[in-house]
């Protein structure tokens, strides 16, 4: 018999003479169907070439076995490594992944969350440096669990998986101070973002205080998250009299280093650099860049595992997970 290329659940039900609910139960593996009826339904599915989609299966199971991932930049090595961890665990638990790119635009982030919710995803993983109030309000209205991966919300209410950014930046800053630098610059994203004001800058100030160095706001810089921004901010860093820098992004750090070397500065003899994400950018430069080591794959994987538990209404003792970080010492620091 010739198969239909666009057969629907209605065609299957009509062929067998059963209800849509019966077909749906068979598709979803529900055992509450007579074996003879189940056989007829499966035969009809084969003959008609019916391919149930996730939303159709969700009519009976209330699940689509699909999760959404909101990603600020699919080309960014940091976020793509997180996404690998998410995807691997999603596959392990038989979930499909819908990925959406937002360019870290709050309007697009809001649209992305709404679009994923309209597709009836079972859960959402959100990645990004900041959650604007409008985005948070949209997330609050979604009838599905949401987990942050490599992201924080200012109030710390949403389930999240990160490293301890305060301790990581504090350790990096303390390292260069102990190497003899008393004018250490820090480069972050917008200071209005919680991950910068409440975590990175807080850790930086904590290190200065512990090492009895006064905070100087002329050594605090905010930039975009790309290589050209590093080139542009480097001149200001040098003009401010800094001899070391802690950068929040690897591309920014490489831009700073190349500017310094192009202008006669030796790294690390004259100037030390520590970056934060430990992507491949830190390894393809010469010298290789010292970096805070983040378990990026694990952050994504643990976030996805947490999401599976939330989707199954399991009790989770701790929804604010902080994974251990390291300091990968390379050629842009003296030791």
Whether residues 39 and 71 fall in one domain: no
Residue 58, in any domain of the structure: no
Whether residues 136 and 122 fall in one domain: yes
Q: Please state, in angstroms and rounded to a whole number, the distance separating the CA atoms of residues 219 and 185.
A: 5
Say yes or no to pLDDT of 2 above 50.
no
Beta-strand pair 272-275/290-293: parallel
Say yes or no to pLDDT of 229 above 50.
yes
Provide the token pair at 250: 């690897």
CATH number of the domain that residue 101 is part of? 3.40.50.2300
Establish whether the linkage from the previous residue to 268 is cis, with ω within 30° of 0: yes
**β-sheet bridge partners, residue 100:** 70
Q: 3-class DSSP state for residue 327? A: strand
Whether residues 144 and 198 fall in one domain: no
pLDDT in tens, 46-58: 888 887 665 555 5
Whether residues 182 and 284 fall in one domain: yes
Total domains in the chain come to 3
Q: Please state, in angstroms and rounded to a whole number, the distance separating the CA atoms of residues 288 and 329.
A: 9
Minimum mean pLDDT range among 47-56, 221-230, 320-329: 47-56
pTM: 0.81
Closest-CA residue to 96 (of 53, 138, 46): 53
When the pLDDT of each residue in the chain is averaged and rounded to a whole number, the result is 91
pLDDT at residue 156 in the model: 83
Averaged pLDDT, 83-89: 95
Residues of the domain holding 27: 9-52
Residue 72, in any domain of the structure: yes
Averaged pLDDT, 27-39: 82
Averaged pLDDT, 293-299: 96
pLDDT at residue 237 in the model: 98
pLDDT in tens, 156-184: 889 999 999 999 999 999 999 999 999 99
Whether residues 92 and 204 fall in one domain: no
Number of alpha carbons in the 13 Å side-chain half-sphere of residue 49: 7
Averaged pLDDT, 231-239: 97
Averaged pLDDT, 263-287: 97
Whether residues 229 and 262 fall in one domain: yes
pLDDT in tens, 107-163: 999 999 999 998 889 999 999 877 888 888 899 989 899 999 999 888 888 999 999
Check if the beta carbon of residue 221 is closer than 8 Å to that of residue 184. no
Whether residues 178 and 287 fall in one domain: yes
Averaged pLDDT, 261-265: 96
Whether residues 169 and 290 fall in one domain: yes
Phi, psi of 298 (to 5 degrees): -65, -35
Q: Please state, in angstroms and rounded to a whole number, the distance separating the CA atoms of residues 335 and 124.
A: 41
Residue 118, in any domain of the structure: yes
Q: Please state, in angstroms and rounded to a whole number, the distance separating the CA atoms of residues 94 and 89.
A: 9
Whether residues 233 and 154 fall in one domain: no
Whether residues 300 and 255 fall in one domain: no
Residues of the chain above pLDDT 90, percent: 70
Q: Which residues contact 244 (CB under 8 A, 6 or more apart)?
A: 176, 177, 179, 181, 183, 184, 185, 271, 272, 273, 274
pLDDT at residue 3 in the model: 41
Residue 111, in any domain of the structure: yes
Q: Exposed e or buried b for every residue in 226-238, given b needs 16+ CB within 10 A?
A: ebebbbbbbeebb
pLDDT at residue 23 in the model: 83
Whether residues 150 and 189 fall in one domain: no
Residue 57, in any domain of the structure: no
Q: Please state, in angstroms and rounded to a whole number, the distance separating the CA atoms of residues 155 and 157.
A: 6
Residue 74, in any domain of the structure: yes
Residue 331, in any domain of the structure: no
Residue where the block lists tokens 């902080």: 322
pLDDT at residue 54 in the model: 56
Check if the beta carbon of residue 300 is closer than 8 Å to that of residue 149. yes
Residue 333, in any domain of the structure: no
CATH number of the domain that residue 45 is part of? 1.10.260.40
pLDDT at residue 4 in the model: 43
Whether residues 276 and 206 fall in one domain: yes
């Amino acid at each position: 018999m010739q198969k239909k290329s666009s057969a629907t659940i209605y065609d299957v039900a009509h062929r067998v003479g059963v209800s849509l609910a019966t077909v749906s139960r068979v598709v979803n593996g529900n055992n509450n169907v007579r074996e003879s009826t189940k056989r007829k339904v499966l035969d009809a599915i084969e003959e008609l070439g019916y391919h149930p989609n996730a939303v159709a299966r969700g009519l009976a199971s209330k699940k689509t076995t699909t999760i959404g991932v909101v990603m600020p930049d699919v080309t960014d090595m940091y976020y793509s490594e997180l996404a690998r961890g998410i995807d691997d665990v999603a596959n392990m638990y038989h979930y499909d992944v819908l990925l959406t790119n937002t360019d870290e635009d709050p309007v697009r982030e809001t649209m992305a969350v709404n679009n994923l919710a309209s597709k009836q995803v079972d859960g959402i993983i959100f990645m990004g440096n900041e959650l604007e109030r409008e985005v948070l309000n949209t997330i609050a209205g979604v009838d599905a669990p949401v987990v942050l991966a490599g992201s924080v919300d200012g109030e710390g209410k949403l389930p999240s998986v990160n490293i301890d950014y305060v301790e990581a930046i504090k350790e990096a800053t303390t390292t260069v101070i102990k190497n003899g630098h008393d004018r250490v610059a820090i480069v972050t994203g917008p200071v209005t973002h919680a991950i910068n004001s409440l975590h990175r800058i807080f850790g930086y100030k904590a290190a200065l205080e512990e090492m009895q160095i006064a905070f100087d706001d002329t050594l605090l810089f905010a930039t975009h998250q790309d290589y050209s921004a590093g080139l542009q901010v480097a001149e200001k860093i040098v003009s401010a009299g800094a001899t070391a820098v802690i950068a929040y992004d690897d591309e920014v750090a490489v831009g700073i280093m190349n500017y310094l070397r192009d202008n006669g500065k030796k790294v690390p003899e004259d100037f030390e650099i520590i970056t934060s994400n430990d992507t491949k950018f830190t390894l393809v430069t010469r010298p290789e860049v010292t970096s805070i080591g983040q378990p990026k794959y694990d952050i994504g994987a643990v976030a996805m595992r947490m999401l599976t538990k939330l989707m199954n209404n399991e009790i989770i003792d701790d929804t604010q997970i902080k994974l251990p970080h390291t300091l990968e010492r390379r050629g842009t620091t003296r030791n």
